[in-house]
Amino acid sequence: MSETIAARLLTLHDRLARAALDCARDPRAVTLLAVSKTYDHNAVRNIARLGHREFGENYLQEALDKQRALADLDLVWHFIGPIQRNKTRRVAENFSWAHCVDRLCIAERLSEQRPADAPPLNVCLEVNVSGEPSKGGVPADAAIALAKQVSALPRLRLRGLMAIPAPTRDRACQRAAFARVRRLFEALKAHGLPVDTLSMGMSGDFEAAIAEGATIVRIGTAIFGPRFYPELAAHR
């Protein structure tokens, strides 16, 4: 099992580097976030042994259990799930990054609850690029105003934007959705916001995301294999 994960990780590093070079980008400008939701702490430990440090989790209780089991390792944890009011304290206290901030009230709570002795919490605003009302994320036309408000909060550091476009296998559609996020990112910079992060691209579409400027790709199944949810349902 761990050899399989190691082999997948090597293959993935090759694909990431090729995707970057294909669009004349430096492969080191793209960070691989290993999305370990639903995989147990032994799987995380296996790839941490290979030198990987950045991990993304969606389900808070599962993530906290895993962090406890891996407390002997020096890992960087990103919370990439939706954040409701009742989760802000535990996210502020236990993660280095929060990727799915989409409302001011959540950002304010994260800032208030970030422990004084920790560095500011790195935050990305999730943008709803596909315009699906059922999905999370700030509408694109409200993103700049929200970014300005979030960037003024003392215990947060606004890093950029995150998006989960509607899944499609059509490369042109993937590119078009990621291009909308990129244009919004450029608009934030034009407004003077010091953003440096575009968190976009998953196992099925990271090449298109890299072509549109992704600086963090969030990848689960291409490293760990297929996910099985049932035994974790109780945690949610």
Ligand X SMILES: *Cc1c(COP(=O)(O)O)cnc(C)c1O
Give the residues lining the site for ligand X (CB under 6 A): 35, 37, 58, 80, 164, 202-204, 218-222
Q: How far is the CB of 32 from ligand X (least distance, A)?
A: 11
Q: Which is nearer to ligand X, 100 or 155 (CB)?
A: 100
Q: Which is nearer to ligand X, 27 or 136 (CB)?
A: 136
DSSP 9: H
Q: Are 195 and 211 in contact (CB under 8 A)?
A: no
Q: Which is nearer to ligand X, 66 or 218 (CB)?
A: 218
126 is written with which tokens?
Answer: 């999730």
Q: How far is the CB of 164 from ligand X (least distance, A)?
A: 5
Residue nearest to ligand X (CB): 220
Q: Which is nearer to ligand X, 58 or 174 (CB)?
A: 58
Q: How far is the CB of 67 from ligand X (least distance, A)?
A: 18
What does the alpha-carbon distance between residue 109 and residue 98 come to, in Å, rounded to a whole number?
12
What does the alpha-carbon distance between residue 210 and residue 117 come to, in Å, rounded to a whole number?
35
Distances (CA, A) of 131 to 99, 101, 114, 180: 19, 17, 31, 11
Q: How far is the CB of 191 from ligand X (least distance, A)?
A: 26
Q: Which residue has the tokens 């990054």?
A: 97
